[in-house]
Structure 1
Amino acid sequence: MHVIYDSVTMQLTRFSDYALRLLMYVSRGDGTRPITIAEVGQQFDISHNHLVKVAARLSKLGWISATRGRHGGLQLGPGAEKLSIGTVLRELEGQKSVIDCADPPCALNGNCRLKRALDQAEEAFYQALDGVTLAEVSGNSRTAESIISLHRDFLSRRAA
């Protein structure tokens, strides 16, 4: 019998990726208008349906506020700029381990140092991101300039 494993490296889910992009984009809005899901989708080439799910989850967590209607959209929730990226990813990625020793069952049955080493590496990853806030990643001058440019680009295309 030949077993084929998926070729997967430690990688964030697409949901978390989209959530981080959405949070960063909304955090650099000009404050004069809410950001629409359509705008974020267009700027990052993300489907409307995916973003609706992401926005709903972020809203439920209180990290963004979502207003429906003609003048509705998304705004950063109170205190969200102080969120650590580690907190965001722990919440969105869930409590899954880097390696699953139960599926398929491992003959070493937990007597191996690998699982502990990988768990420690994962915790170090999150601890490093605990020291970085949303404000820091979206407020970095190059990142902020890029996001502001995307906002302007969207508004100019919409006005044309």
Structure 2
Amino acid sequence: MQLTRYTDYGLRLLTYLAVMPENELATKESVCAAYGLSPNHIGKIVHQLGKAGYLETRRGKGGGFQLGKPAEEINLGSLVRLLERDLDIFNCQEPRCQIQGVCQLHGMLQEAAQAFLQVLDKYTLADMVYGKQQQLTQILRIVN
């Protein structure tokens, strides 16, 4: 199973915000510069995460965004479920598989995907950065 770039970028964005100084706002430009990403992609992700309550956003001059809740409350499994459009590992419909009615592989792969998400359900954004805040801050060029 491979997560989409959209989810990858969403996790990178949240990692960036998790190590930022408290009460400081990030901008699309700062995140994009840190990771070498497209502002259009980040803008879409910020919008979705803001609507879902993961981010607090402020518009206008001096605006930006920050975590909308503590990193300890941001569950990775829930986040992946939000960002991924389709968690099916493969599609038996396109092209339609001839053995679909008797094949058991699809069910097995669905079970594997659920196991993947159950593992992520055990972790939070805080777990992702625990003990690595200083290194991440340096790598991402976040000024304290």
TM-score, length basis structure 2: 0.91
2:122 aligned with 1:131:
yes
Spell out structure 1 runs of 4+ moving beyond 4 A: none
Unaligned stretches of 5+ residues in structure 2: none
Match of 1:87 in 2: 78
8 Å CA contact 2:71–2:124 kept in 1: the answer is no
Which letter does structure 1 place at the counterpart of 2:137? I
Structure 2 CA distance, aligned partners of 1:24 and 1:110?
43
TM-score, length basis structure 1: 0.83
8 Å CA contact 2:15–2:128 kept in 1: the answer is yes
Match of 2:2 in 1: 11
Instruction: Give the C-alpha shift of residue 21 in structure 1.
Output: 0.6
**1:22-61 superposed Cα distances (whole Å, 9 cap, x missing partner):** 1111111112421111100000000111111111111011
2:137 aligned with 1:148:
yes
Instruction: Give the C-alpha shift of residue 118 in structure 1.
Output: 0.5
Match of 2:17 in 1: 26
Decide which structure has greater helix share: 1
**1:1-31 superposed Cα distances (whole Å, 9 cap, x missing partner):** xxxxxxxxx2111110010011111111112
8 Å CA contact 2:76–2:124 kept in 1: the answer is yes
Please report the RMSD computed on the Cα atoms of aligned residues, expressed in angstroms.
1.7
Instruction: Give the C-alpha shift of residue 73 in structure 1.
Output: 0.9
Unaligned stretches of 5+ residues in structure 1: 1-9
Match of 1:98 in 2: 89
Structure 2 CA distance, aligned partners of 1:14 and 1:104?
24
Structure 2 CA distance, aligned partners of 1:117 and 1:108?
15
